[in-house]
Structure 1
Amino acid sequence: MKTDQLDKIIQNLRRNKHVLGATFQLSLNNEIHNFSFGNLNEKSRFYVASINKLVTAVLILRLVREEKLHLDDLLCNLLPENYWEGLHTWKGTDYSKSITLKHLLSQSSGLPCYLVDKMPDGSRAMDLFLKGNDQSWPMEKVIQAAKLIKAKFPPGTKGKAHYGELNYRLLDEILLAKTGKQIDELGEAVFQELGMLQTAFLHKIDTQEYVPIISKYGVLSIEKYAESTRHEIISTSGDLMLFLKAYFEGAFYPKEKLASLQIWNRIFFPFKYGIGIQQFYIPWFFSPFKKIPPLIGHCGSVGSVAFFIPEKNAFVTGTVNLAGQPQLVFQTLIKMLNKI
């Protein structure tokens, strides 16, 4: 591996006028390499976006490991009626009582996403966020909005998944119901356990303590949203590496059972979703002369990544810190993989 070539790939991100900085940590055969530029470096704290779903997932999986929860447990038996009654209707049939813990973890519930799916009036909450309109989304508002958006398919439909924030908001509520503790309190215990000293929940720290979140419209403010969800996370590439390696070493769920979580359903190209984990894949016909191995882990909407590449015995974490252009970080990762 030539680190100068990898560094050049990262530096080329400067060509995008909206990218103010980038940082990546690569662990290859247990050797750590850092690459960065601009307003981000290996010590910078940044918003991880949907990588937080891995944190929620491992907290649930720990309870499954301890047999305090089971993947086949029904949502209707885990939360009060106001969370699930009338939540999922597909072609005139109410499937709300058929949703399981596994469906929520694997994004295969068929439930809509209150952030990215269109409301009946054609509006999308995510569009407002990208334009700098911060919004509070308490659980009552989430449930109300979800009932106005059509479900995507019956729960557990073979091969199907629909990416959505709602599934994981419900998982947060299940954690609270089973443990009596909020997602941020449970998450902080994991961070302390792993020595993730620079990782925190966004609503608990000042905006000056992390690099501003950027979109093509400028700086994004999500303080109201973070206060309402309690699960938005700020971290560093190094801390994410600690978490990612702990996951694959079996810290949260038995190592010998991790493969059972990798039952992939198509979610949107080029992603698939397993049980609490995501896969990025490029079919061979898109790259016939240079195979791109699958990446397993999770990414976030701001160009944040935390992936294990089994075929390379490599881990990569980091961010380009730019919302609304998800292709950018994966174009970069593909170039990096071609050099290692």
Structure 2
Amino acid sequence: MKKSLNQSRLDDLMSYAITKKNIFGAVLCVEKGDHSLPLISGAGNIQADDFYFIASVTKLYITAVMLKLRFENQLQLEDKISDYLSADTISQIHVLNGVDYSNDITIKQLMSNTSGIPDYFTSDVVSELISGNDQSWHLEKTLEAVKQKKPKFFPGQKRKAQYSDTNYQLLGKIIEIIKGKDIQTIFKELIFDELQLEKTYVYKDVNDSRPIPLYYKSKPLHLPIYMSSITPEGGIVSTAKETMWFLKAFFNGRLFPKQDLIELKRWNLLFIPGLFYYGIGLSKQPLSLPTFNKELLGHWGQSGAFAFYYPDKNLYFTGTVNQFTGHAVAVRLMGKLIKLV
């Protein structure tokens, strides 16, 4: 007899997940689109209602804001970033073969990681952070570093994409300029308040100890300065339940017209920081080789956070394994849950 998904089964799977190497805690919320399966479970050192860093899942919130602004005719995705950002800000962020293409880059290219702008979040930066060298990576510092790097391709070059957190820092700045407010306030007004998210906020206070500590392998990471400096690319704190509320709103037309989702599915295959497809502010994660083209849509966070929708069975998943290197565990966990429904 095929096992079905219920609270007991979910609890068992979560208990098993934390037996994997360097997974000290995990939380997962799963729901069906028809509200028939609202389940949540925490295991190890994470309780079901704990706060955690959603990290790059924040990029979905940026996507939602961008599409909302477009619906309100405050921007177009084809707009050049030079329409919003000063020459001093963007000059020489993309110089290839001696030519500066910075003024040619569009908002859509930032969102889709097809701008060619190098990523500041290199292996050297990662090494410093995981060694405990907590540091700020605000936009000005990021762009200064990027201007010293060579892009790998021209902006919008066909079938070329490179995951770059730099893109989303720039998107955050564009949003601030359009709205005349800081990104923290914009997130609150356009998303958190709109969805009545009371446990979701932007991490800014370095003394804030509410989010559960991050891990890199067996080592706890304490990076308050870094996490407080990267709001547009990864600075939101939330819970599994409230991330679920956002995820369902994202895919069901609550924040922007639902038909806009079709446009986001213009995929490029990425191999770094993992094997997945990236569209326009949205990613698609393969579960296995036999199901490589199935749509698990949403976003990862480097913290081990995840927020994905599986249209084939109308399933939504949110949570975290709270591990810098734990994404494979989360993929297998979601795969097992899909088979039970």
Partner residue, 2:38 = 32
CA distance in 2, matches of 1:50, 1:154: 24
Partner AA of 1:15 in structure 2: T
Match among 231, 245, 249 for residue 246 of structure 1: 249
Classify 1:276/1:144 alpha carbon distance in 2 versus 1 (closer, same or farther; 3 Å).
Answer: same
CA distance in 2, matches of 1:145, 1:162: 17
Aligned length: 330
Offset of residue 81 of structure 1: 0.8
Offset of residue 148 of structure 1: 1.3
Whether 1:8 and 2:8 are equivalent positions in the alignment is: no
Partner AA of 1:79 in structure 2: L
When structure 1 is superposed on structure 2, of 41-50 and 152-161 the one drifting more is 152-161
SS at match of 1:11: helix
Match among 102, 107, 116 for residue 110 of structure 1: 116
Offset of residue 17 of structure 1: 4.3
Asked if 1 retains the 8 angstrom alpha-carbon contact of 2:206 and 2:224, the reply is no
Match among 25, 42, 47 for residue 41 of structure 1: 47
Partner residue, 1:165 = 165
Whether 1:258 and 2:264 are equivalent positions in the alignment is: no
Classify 1:330/1:191 alpha carbon distance in 2 versus 1 (closer, same or farther; 3 Å).
Answer: same
CA distance in 2, matches of 1:114, 1:205: 22
CA distance in 2, matches of 1:292, 1:56: 25
CA distance in 2, matches of 1:264, 1:90: 24
Partner residue, 2:238 = 235
Q: Give me the identity figure in percent.
A: 32
Asked if 2 retains the 8 angstrom alpha-carbon contact of 1:49 and 1:300, the reply is yes
Partner residue, 1:149 = 149
Asked if 2 retains the 8 angstrom alpha-carbon contact of 1:133 and 1:221, the reply is no
Offset of residue 79 of structure 1: 0.3
Whether 1:22 and 2:26 are equivalent positions in the alignment is: yes
Alignment of 1:39-78 (within 5 A): 39-78=45-84
Asked if 1 retains the 8 angstrom alpha-carbon contact of 2:52 and 2:237, the reply is yes
Structure 1 gaps of 5+ residues are 119-123
CA distance in 1, matches of 2:245, 2:297: 15
CA distance in 1, matches of 2:178, 2:317: 33
Alignment of 1:1-340 (within 5 A): 1-3=4-6, 4-28=8-32, 29-30=34-35, 31-116=37-122, 124-189=124-189, 190-204=191-205, 206-231=207-232, 232-268=235-271, 270-282=275-287, 286-287=289-290, 293-340=294-341
SS at match of 2:163: coil
- TM-score norm. by structure 1 comes to 0.91
SS at match of 1:338: helix
After superposition, the CA RMSD in angstroms is 1.8
Classify 1:155/1:292 alpha carbon distance in 2 versus 1 (closer, same or farther; 3 Å).
Answer: closer
CA distance in 2, matches of 1:325, 1:129: 17
- TM-score norm. by structure 2 comes to 0.91
CA distance in 2, matches of 1:224, 1:129: 10
**Which 4+ runs in 1 deviate beyond 6 A?**
none
SS at match of 1:228: coil
SS at match of 1:127: helix
CA distance in 1, matches of 2:226, 2:284: 27
Partner AA of 1:39 in structure 2: N
Asked if 2 retains the 8 angstrom alpha-carbon contact of 1:160 and 1:267, the reply is no
Asked if 2 retains the 8 angstrom alpha-carbon contact of 1:130 and 1:323, the reply is no
Classify 1:50/1:115 alpha carbon distance in 2 versus 1 (closer, same or farther; 3 Å).
Answer: same
